[in-house]
Amino acid sequence: MSKSIMDQVAEAKKLVSPINPKDAMGMVEREDVLIVDVREAPEIAESGKVAGALHVSRGMIEFRADETIPSHNTAFAKNKTIILYCASGGRAVLCGVALMDLGYKNVRSMGAFKDWVEVGGAVDKG
């Protein structure tokens, strides 16, 4: 039996711990935390991103997070807390599962970028 994308998102939400934006705000400056925006570049160009967040689109997350391949981004480290977000939360939890499959232990989903903005989180534009 096949699963819809929303079935996959629902399963991923059970595996990836949520973090609310206010709690994430208090972690932004920590060196042991990496905040990752997994939206596409046009979305970020339109709205900006969490100040200091790393942009890695959903399609590239494994290639940047896997330290065994040349395209690894050294900002990813398994001893860090990784906080993911997107436009609504679905891509963030799917990326969270992918990171957990790569051996990342402390992966959290902040859900939607708009939630960060609503609580007054700092935004990098352009």
pLDDT at 126 over 70: no
Instruction: Enumerate domains of the chain plus CATH numbers.
Output: 5-119 (3.40.250.10)
Pick from 77, 57, 56, 55: nearest CA to 67: 77
User: Are 24 and 35 a contacting pair, CB within 8 Å?
Assistant: yes
* Nearest CA among 53, 54, 50, 56 for reference residue 123: 50
- Closest CA relative to residue 79, chosen from 35, 32, 34, 36: 32
The pLDDT tens digits of the residues spanning 10-42 come to 999 999 999 999 999 999 999 999 999 999 999
Residues in Cβ contact with 122 at an 8 Å cutoff, skipping those fewer than 6 apart: 28, 50, 51, 52
